[in-house]
Amino acid sequence: MTCLTFEELKTMNRENDILKWFNGEITTEALKNRYPNEDFSTLEKSQFYSKQFELPQIDAQKALEDFKTRKLKKKTTKVVPLNFKSFLKIAAILIVMLGSSYVLFFNNPTSYSTKIAQIERFNLPDNSEVILNSKSQLSFNRKDWKKNRTLDLQGEAFFKVTKGEKFTVQTGVGTVQVLGTQFNVKERQDYFEVKCYEGSVSVTYASEKTILTPGKTLRIVKGEQVIVKEFNYKNPAWLVQESSFDNVPLWQVIDELEIHYDITISTKAINTSILFSGTFTHTDKNIALKSVTIPLKLSYIIDGNNVEFYNYDSH
Amino acid sequence: MSKPKSQLCEEKHFNSFYLDHIRAVTNFAYYKCGDQSQSLDLVQDAFAKIWENCSQIDFNKAKSYLFTTVNNLFLNVVRHQKVVFTYAKESPYLDQTNLSPEYLLEEEEFKIKLHTVIAALSVEQREVFLLNRMEDKKYREIADLLNISQKTVEKRMSGALKAIREKIKGVNI
């Protein structure tokens, strides 16, 4: 800071006092007393007359009306206030969306299904192989498959299970559990059958546990267990487009025919509980029908999708 | 009382905001440009800007925004025009006891000179000076209104007073 002379200091003080005077901090008299030799008349007059300029005469209401005649547009970035109610609405929608997407995409069981005359082959997340026979449905939870290898099955499927945690197939009537093996599960109307091809299979039916070793079959027909001879083939016949039966009731064979050829088979005066052993192909309807009817001394008539079985003798 | 931002977008609130400030802000514009109709135009433009941007302006800061906008519009549009002030039609004289013709003539002359000097002040000095004189605003209030420091206000005021004292005698009518 530079040094100020006494004169300069005095001027500065006077200027400050004038400022204070205009700011109403000191009165005109006080100022005049403080600086008796100064002439403040110009400033005094200025102070007085500069109050007297004519101000714009504003009719506020009219100005507002004029203003409203302008065509103004609010900028589109209008902010919608976040009131609690709409916040709740949005939150509710989000929760529903998140919840449903969770159910839809994560928690929803993965499911495969086949129609009549269709076979599907696919792998499970652990590379276990599944072949799903016609008109069957299989579902499982992909999300926790590692911890819980459980499937729900309706119909028939062949499994080649990779070794690992317990592998469970649940059906409407019984539960099949294995650790790593190959087996076939068939659950149709009044018919439940598990065949073990490799390893060992534990089947729980009506709270009774049965252990199957390779070549063994557990078959339940109309709620009753049927004893089945050991088999020595490596794969179910249906994997090579055949259906194979050994001492199976005719009605079950008919069901199987209907599933593979999309036909309706009616029977007249035929005992459908007679047992059938043999195979039928999935590729030719006539051959298949013949291979079932001839050994049983039956015949058939085809009428569109309807097939009638009848006793050869009766015609 | 604090009002949320968006309230300015509601016509009701905007209208009351408009009516609250129209006079003061028009005077303010007038101190700057010295033209009545032009000052109102400036103010209407400023209000239009506020209405258009209502969603982005805090209600509590709208007044300051209004004055700033008028200031900016003034700088953009009319800064270089000649400033002309007029006195109120029936303005009183300083000394009401002395109404001799000589005195009255002298005072009229002074008023015209003052008028000329004020019109010749810089815009910054004039607005501070007239806000102080016409509206009896303290320096602190002016500083708040113009968003500048009180020191700046005092500096401008000091400059205005110095200019008046020095120039008023040299004015030829």
DSSP string computed for A34-94? HSTT---HHHHHHHHHTT-BPPP---HHHHHHHHHHS-----S-PPPP--HHHHHHHHHHH
Computed over every residue of chain A, the mean pLDDT equals 83
Predicted-complex ipTM score: 0.75
Residue in the structure block whose two tokens are 């070549």: A215
pLDDT higher for A163 or B128?
Answer: B128
User: How many independent structural domains does chain A possess?
Assistant: 3
Q: Chain B contacts of A28, Cβ < 8 Å?
A: none
Residues A177 and A256 both lie in one domain: no
In a domain, B48, yes or no: yes
**CATH number where A187 lies:** 2.60.120.1440
Instruction: Look at A23 and B44 and tell me if their CB atoms are within 8 Å.
Output: no
Q: How far is B7 from chain A (nearest CA, A)?
A: 9
CB atoms within 10 A of CB A128: 21
Residues B147 and B113 both lie in one domain: yes
Residues A245 and A221 both lie in one domain: no
Examine the pLDDT at B6 and tell me if it is beyond 80: no
Express each pLDDT in B64-116 by its tens digit.
Answer: 889 988 888 888 776 666 666 677 666 777 777 777 888 888 888 888 888 88
Examine the pLDDT at A223 and tell me if it is beyond 60: yes
Examine the pLDDT at A268 and tell me if it is beyond 90: no
CB atoms within 10 A of CB B87: 16
In a domain, B158, yes or no: yes
Q: Is B15 on the interface with A (CB under 8 A)?
A: yes
Residue B149 confidence (pLDDT): 92
Computed over every residue of chain B, the mean pLDDT equals 84
Residues B66 and B9 both lie in one domain: yes
Tokens read off for A280? 């039928």
* Chains A & B: contacts with CB separation below 8 Å: 131
Which residues constitute the domain of residue B38?
5-77
Q: Is B49 on the interface with A (CB under 8 A)?
A: no
Residues A173 and A207 both lie in one domain: yes
Residues B47 and B107 both lie in one domain: no
Residue in the structure block whose two tokens are 């270089």: B80
Instruction: Look at B6 and A44 and tell me if their CB atoms are within 8 Å.
Output: no
Choosing among A46, A57, A83, A86, which should be mutated to test the B contact, i.e. which has the most B CBs within 10 A?
Answer: A46
Angle at B163 between CA B160 and CA B166, to 5 degrees: 150
pTM here is: 0.46
Confidence of residue B5 (pLDDT cuts 50, 70, 90): low
Residues B65 and B117 both lie in one domain: no
Instruction: Look at A72 and B53 and tell me if their CB atoms are within 8 Å.
Output: no
In a domain, A74, yes or no: no
Q: Chain B contacts of A46, Cβ < 8 Å?
A: 114, 161, 164, 168
Residues B56 and B18 both lie in one domain: yes
Residue percentage of chain A with pLDDT more than 90: 1
Confidence of residue A206 (pLDDT cuts 50, 70, 90): confident
Residue A283 confidence (pLDDT): 85
In a domain, A248, yes or no: yes
Residues A159 and A116 both lie in one domain: yes
Examine the pLDDT at B173 and tell me if it is beyond 70: no
Choosing among B7, B12, B23, which should be mutated to test the A contact, i.e. which has the most A CBs within 10 A?
Answer: B23
Q: Chain A contacts of B130, Cβ < 8 Å?
A: 50, 53
In a domain, A302, yes or no: yes
CA-to-CA distance for B53 and A24, rounded, in angstroms? 39
In a domain, B83, yes or no: no
CA-to-CA distance for B127 and B142, rounded, in angstroms? 9
In a domain, A165, yes or no: yes
Those residues whose C-beta lies under 8 Å from the C-beta of residue A154, and which sit 6 or more positions away, are: A136, A137, A138, A171, A172, A187
- Mean pLDDT is highest, among A180-189, A242-251, A259-268, B123-132, for B123-132
What's the DSSP call for residue B97? Answer: S
Q: Could you tell me how far CA A261 lies from the centroid of its own chain?
A: 34
Which residues constitute the domain of residue A28?
6-49
Q: How far is B135 from chain A (nearest CA, A)?
A: 8
What sign for the dihedral angle of Cα A193, A198, A202, A208? positive
Residues A249 and A218 both lie in one domain: no
**Alpha carbons within 13 A on the beta-carbon side of B136:** 3
Residues A114 and A218 both lie in one domain: yes
Examine the pLDDT at B1 and tell me if it is beyond 50: no
| A-chain residue closest to B133, CA distance | A51
Q: Chain A contacts of B136, Cβ < 8 Å?
A: 24
Q: Chain B contacts of A15, Cβ < 8 Å?
A: 158, 162
Examine the pLDDT at B2 and tell me if it is beyond 50: no
In a domain, A61, yes or no: no
Nearest alpha carbon to residue B27 among A47, A63, A58: A58
What sign for the dihedral angle of Cα A183, A184, A187, A191? negative
Q: Chain B contacts of A52, Cβ < 8 Å?
A: 87-88, 91-92, 111
Tokens read off for B63? 């007044």
CA-to-CA distance for B75 and B66, rounded, in angstroms? 14
**CATH number where B152 lies:** 1.10.10.10
Q: Is B88 on the interface with A (CB under 8 A)?
A: yes
In a domain, B13, yes or no: yes
User: How many independent structural domains does chain B possess?
Assistant: 2
Of B26, B36, B157, the CB nearest to A19: B157
* Residue after which a domain boundary falls, among B77, B109, B132: B77
